[in-house]
Structure 1
């Protein structure tokens, strides 16, 4: 989402809302072009015939593997769903969702919190990444050596930003101790680190293979800290959730089956990673599967308020964030806690 911290009070909130509304018109053609033939309004409740859904994802990362598996292995189709995936940045994906151009968005908690603070009525339905799936890479030997150094992030409000704040805290540092450099995307952050344009950054497999080859090492594995978050989760509008409960239940059934296959079928999962991430290095593929399937991905993607609270705390100065009631945003009815 766009950084709204520079606007104040009610005026800032209005500007954010107007900005979201203005963006939706331009997105209409873009989303339609990405998913030809998809009925933007959805096809009923999924109880009569095939129901069409367009789902956006904000980053081309391994967190999205359950969605790719569910589409490519036909799990959604078995549930009577025609699901199209389309790639939209976090700042574009949220306006597309609230305008009805997409029916669901795979986004981070920070984008969710920022959008809800601007007045959007949305629900968080599932969490694919309930921990920060990052390692902190640098050539520095100690955290103290990072003072004054350049640390790459995507944006000043995205999931990588929130995770970087958490990493710095774990290392005994604050954002004022380093120079945060916004680079726009995860790919840009990885490339900048390898090129030496920044001195440190968060990353994960498969990019970590190249990063380590460039002489960097990890001084912190955030995933092992088990800090509650939702680095990637699934959101929809409150209106869509109320009118399409059956359709969403079928979607989540297929998603659960995809998660189970990712965890149990290494060969197939690595094939999907190779296809979508355009990588062929067997070492990188295996490291990526092991990291996400064994360390990051939950068996049950149940969303919790604690996962959103981390981003709410990090974005506390953004207008409207402090007033959010997370219990009204999180809908855990599709994945009740296991007995």
Structure 2
């Protein structure tokens, strides 16, 4: 995993070397920005709400969304200035910054460890030790779901050798479970509620276990246009506030963004992540939440040390966005 994560960030460093529900009144502006998301993901619903409900436009910003296909590629777009913002796990930005890339975090997106463990009917589960000897399907490393699962095993005096870990492409986790190739799964949404609808049971939730956890964030260059960055963070703050106050609108946007999924699964997934506080109340990122997320990567050897919070998280835009009434 260490080699994979470092290799994935090679592109980023190479490019660097080469180059509230209510928002403030709509501002007439020619400001434009591109945001590069790692994937089209239910986790990034706050971004889609901001786009679909015109909250960036109300903040005076015309935003174009692009999908990179990988966190390292999304971050590389920011470093090369082909995008102003990227959305993915903050660990990618921390590793790039540790190598000298002029990047940091400017907004929260997901503030809970959005991973759950499910088992097939009939599997007895009282604690983690009951997983010993089981075939466990999880995402292909490097990914946070599998990283958290390995961390969980370690915290309970176990290792990956105690289970038969079946790693598959992200999004493919439901397949082996439903086919009976595995009886335990480490899941993201919406895969989680897809298998729950088929009779699987949730036995452990990382959001409840860890509490506030900086799972996904908005990254930007240190020299990003302040006006553009402020408008983007204002839009994200408005989206997060709307999701909390009018969850039915968040569900409607999710159904629009994921039209091929069963609408009932989409609704269950959004409601679960709201109930489990996976989607934050606003754009703020607490030092403890960031430290916890990055400690996972440090424990796995992907990151040498915690970045300096004040230098890594630019609270200028966060504070101003939170002050909007």
In the other structure, the counterpart of 2:85 is 104
Cα distance in structure 2, aligned partners of 1:239 and 1:179 = 46
Cα distance in structure 2, aligned partners of 1:213 and 1:292 = 16
Q: Shift of residue 105 of structure 1? A: 0.7
How many residue pairs are counted as aligned between the two chains?
306
The 3-state SS of whatever aligns with 2:229 is: helix
How far does the alpha carbon of each residue in 1:167-186 deviate from its partner, in whole angstroms, 9 at most, with x for none? Answer: 4356664334234444342x
Cα distance in structure 2, aligned partners of 1:222 and 1:105 = 25
From 111, 116, 120, the counterpart of 2:97: 116
In structure 1, list runs of 5 or more residues that go unmatched: 8-12, 25-46
In structure 2, list runs of 5 or more residues that go unmatched: 17-26
TM-score relative to the length of structure 1: 0.77
In the other structure, the counterpart of 2:20 is none
The 3-state SS of whatever aligns with 2:313 is: coil
Contact kept? 1:136, 1:201, Cα under 8 Å? yes
Q: Per the alignment, do residues 282 and 276 of structure 1 end up closer, same or farther by CA in structure 2, a change over 3 Å counting?
A: closer
Matches within 5 A, 1:86-97: 86-88=66-68, 89-97=70-78
In the other structure, the counterpart of 2:244 is 263
TM-score relative to the length of structure 2: 0.80
Q: Shift of residue 292 of structure 1? A: 2.3
Is 1:233 aligned to residue 217 of structure 2? yes
Cα distance in structure 1, aligned partners of 2:271 and 2:189 = 9
Contact kept? 2:46, 2:236, Cα under 8 Å? yes
Q: Shift of residue 221 of structure 1? A: 1.4
In the other structure, the counterpart of 1:189 is 173
Contact kept? 2:50, 2:236, Cα under 8 Å? yes
The 3-state SS of whatever aligns with 2:282 is: coil
Contact kept? 1:303, 1:331, Cα under 8 Å? no
Cα distance in structure 1, aligned partners of 2:118 and 2:252 = 27
Q: Per the alignment, do residues 235 and 197 of structure 1 end up closer, same or farther by CA in structure 2, a change over 3 Å counting?
A: farther
Q: Per the alignment, do residues 184 and 238 of structure 1 end up closer, same or farther by CA in structure 2, a change over 3 Å counting?
A: farther
Q: Per the alignment, do residues 170 and 201 of structure 1 end up closer, same or farther by CA in structure 2, a change over 3 Å counting?
A: farther
